[in-house]
């Protein structure tokens, strides 16, 4: 469990491209009477302290709250297909989502070569950035095509965001964004 000092009020998640899988998002509240919204719509009654709820997500979702929350993605792969047990886009996992309050301008990450046992051949990194920064993000020194990004529903403090799932090969990667840290990005690798 991450320290509560790292929890945020705004999270964005996008189903893995290119095929937009259905994912389960879990949200955990810290305090009583926490109002949580999904794409700007209030999600039922206020959460109690340490209460969690799950929801199925297809596409891009903006999770916001009036008090700190923690959000995570349960990916439900692999699945059986006609020729092989595993899907080529990845395996089952739990990923804690980074809040929009924690942005980076320079981030190095590693994607594993250990795909032999898993059977998948594709890996993706999710990038969320302010819309005005969209065309300035680089991955390994190359601009990330804006075609990978989709609009995020709603705004955060008057700012609009975009989210993209970008394919990566197994190796060490570096994502960079010029400008101030408030105009950086969040990453889920």
Q: What pTM, to 2 d.p., does this model score? A: 0.85
Which band of pLDDT confidence, cut at 50, 70 and 90, is reported for residue 85? very low
pLDDT tens digit string along 123-182? 888 999 999 888 999 999 999 999 999 999 998 888 999 999 899 988 899 999 986 666
DSSP 8-class letter at 86 = S
Radius of gyration of the chain (CA): 17
- Site of tokens 């980076």: 104
DSSP 8-class letter at 34 = B
24 backbone dihedrals φ, ψ, rounded to 5°: -110, 125
Which band of pLDDT confidence, cut at 50, 70 and 90, is reported for residue 86? very low
pLDDT tens digit string along 28-67? 999 999 999 999 999 999 999 999 999 988 888 999 999 9
Which band of pLDDT confidence, cut at 50, 70 and 90, is reported for residue 187? confident
């Amino acid at each position: 469990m991450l320290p509560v000092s790292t929890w945020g009020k705004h999270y964005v998640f996008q189903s893995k491209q290119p095929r937009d899988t259905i994912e389960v998002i879990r949200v955990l509240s810290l305090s009583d009477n926490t109002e949580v919204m999904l794409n700007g719509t209030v999600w039922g009654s206020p959460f109690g302290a340490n209460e969690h709820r799950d929801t199925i997500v297809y596409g891009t979702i903006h999770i916001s709250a009036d008090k700190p929350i923690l959000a995570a993605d349960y990916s439900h792969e692999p699945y059986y297909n006609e020729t092989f047990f595993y899907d080529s886009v990845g395996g089952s996992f739990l990923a804690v989502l980074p809040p929009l309050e924690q942005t980076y301008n320079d981030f190095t990450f590693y994607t594993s070569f250990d795909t032999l046992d898993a059977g998948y051949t594709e890996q993706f990194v999710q990038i969320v950035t302010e819309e005005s920064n969209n065309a300035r993000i680089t991955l390994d020194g190359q601009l990330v095509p804006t075609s990978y990004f989709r609009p995020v529903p709603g705004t955060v403090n008057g700012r609009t965001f975009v989210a993209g799932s970008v394919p990566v090969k197994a190796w060490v990667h570096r994502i960079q964004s010029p400008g101030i840290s408030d105009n950086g990005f969040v990453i889920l690798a």
